Amino acid sequence: MVNYFSFCAVSGQSCQICDDAASGFHYGVWSCEGCKAFFKRSLQGPVDYVCPATQNCTIDRQRRKSCQACRLNKCIQMGMSRGNCRRERERPGKANRKKKGDDAQTSPPKVRIKEEKDGNRSPVAGSSSTAAAAAAAAAAAAAVVATPPPAPQAPPAAASNEPVPIHTLVAHLMRVDPPVRHANHDHSLPDTWENLTASLFKLADFELMDVITWAKNIPGYSALSLKLRIHLLEACWMEVLIIGLLWRSQNHKDCLMFAPDLEFDRTRIRIAELESISTPILRLSQLFTRLHVTREEMVLLRVLVLINSDICGDNDEERSLQEDLQQSVHEAFEYTVIRRQRQPLSRLLNLLSLLPHVRMAAMLSLQQISEIKSSLRLPLEDLLNEMMEGSTKASRTMTP
């Protein structure tokens, strides 16, 4: 297990609802787990929140539970919406609610306030006491929740109609993607197996440090338990590195661009004894070239292999967080390819079809490194050695 680095919460981000520490990007805004769960409950079930005052309660970390009506109002004002969340999976009991009609599915949560008269609070609006109270409550509820839904047929090229939260997520993932590392290979040395392999191992060690930092900065990832985060990384780190290698190597025929200063042509591949793994990787590189994979697509493919590992959380709550993260990235990938780039659905499917081949190439690469480690031909760098041990444990965990 990798044990000398730490995973932390999303740095510098606060909940836009209550100003607590944000756990991730939920329903279109940065929010904590408490406000995320509150908004989720408001969407799932019929609610009838009541503001005991004037619909202007302070919502912060200490007082967020004091008024559900104003808390929901602030959630909506800050941009939380059903359209920015994952499609809720059907659960027992939901089927009965769906039978109440289409209106029940589309109507927003209702919020009510109590009218004050002569210093005493009148019955809750909506009761049969007075028609005026009912009218006031209806107007207040409309003011709280009447946010126009996004136009589903809006042209994707129009900036005003773009789903900004998803665009913000994609932009954030682009910023935190691991940088392209230089190998600092000594080209004055002869091309021998030892020299080339040692440079690859050192490069992989530095890249792994970048991958660990990158994973911490993926919105929602730090909300998972430390154990799950480590297992996910141990299961997919080689796939993450290979996707970067493929993207750098496209348009370089019969060459693997491990780094800007470390290019492996057929001769170096033969000297480094990489023929067994270079064949599938070069074939994949040709597919990347044919598809003209963009950097945005490469970045999202990396995130997809991290969160779509066969490793799952230990309990329902953690699995739910994992599913939320998966759904948000899937929606961002679909938005980027189909809506923003105006590409057909077939391109999205072609990109996703690359992932099984990437996993196979990663397995072959891990096997070759494991053989080098067992033969004691060359020592591994410290972090690379730990991640290799973690990959072995992860493969046993995924084996049925």
Kindly state the average pLDDT of the residues 339-366.
Answer: 91
Collect all residues with Cβ–Cβ distance below 8 Å to 181 and sequence separation of at least 6: 203, 206, 207, 210, 259
Cβ-Cβ contacts under 8 Å for 203 (sequence gap 6 or more): 181, 183, 258, 259, 262
148-193 pLDDT, tens digit each: 333 333 333 323 333 337 878 888 999 999 889 999 999 999 999 9
Q: What integer is the mean pLDDT of 296-324? A: 85
- Could you tell me how far CA 171 lies from the centroid of its own chain? 12
Contact 32, 48 (CB under 8 A): no
**Bridge partner residues of 120 (DSSP):** 117
Whether pLDDT at 121 is above 50: no
CATH architecture designation of domain 159-398: Orthogonal Bundle (1.10)
pLDDT at 245 (0 to 100): 96
Residues 268-309: pLDDT tens digits?
A: 999 999 999 999 999 999 999 999 999 999 999 999 999 886
Task: Look up the CATH architecture of domain 24-145.
Answer: 2-Layer Sandwich (3.30)
Which of 43-52, 95-104, 236-245, 322-331 has the highest average model confidence (pLDDT)? 236-245
Query: 21 - beta bridge partners?
Result: 14
Cβ(18)–Cβ(35) below 8 Å: yes
Instruction: Report which residue type is found at 102.
Output: D
Q: Counting every residue, how long is the chain?
A: 400
Q: Are 238 and 207 in contact (CB under 8 A)?
A: no
CA-based nearest residue to 78, from 152, 142, 25 = 25
pLDDT of residue 210 exceeding 60: yes
For residue 325, what are its two tokens? 């993260």
Over residues 30-60, the pLDDT tens digits come to 888 889 888 888 888 777 787 777 778 888 8
Give mean pLDDT, residues 230-259. 93
The 3-class SS string of the chain reads CCCCCCCCCCCCCECCCCCCECCEEECCEEECHHHHHHHHHHHHCCCEEEECCCCCCCCCCCCCCCCHHHHHHHHHHCCCCHHHCCCCCCCCCHHHHHCCCHHHHHCCCEEEECCEECCEECCCCCCCCCHHHHHHHHHHHHHHHCCCCCCCCCCCCCHHHCCHHHHHHHHHHHHHCCCCCCCCCCCCCCCCHHHHHHHHHHHHHHHHHHHHHHHHCCCCHHHCCHHHHHHHHHHHHHHHHHHHHHHHHCCCCCCEEEECCEEECHHHHHHCCCHHHHHHHHHHHHHHHHHCCCHHHHHHHHHHHHHCCCCCCCCHHHHHHHHHHHHHHHHHHHHHHHHHCCCCHHHHHHHHCHHHHHHHHHHHHHHHHHHHHHHCCCCCCHHHHHHHHHHHHHHHHHCC
Return d(Cα 243, Cα 237) in angstroms, integer.
Answer: 10
pLDDT of the residue at 139: 42
**pLDDT surpassing 70 at residue 61:** yes
- Whether 223 and 26 have beta carbons less than 8 Å apart is answered as no
Please give the share of the chain, as a percent, with pLDDT higher than 70. 74
Half-sphere exposure of 185 (CA within 13 A, CB side): 26
Residue 2 pLDDT exceeds 50: no
Per-domain boundaries in the chain: 24-145, 159-398
Distance, CA of 291 to CA of 243 (rounded, Å) = 14
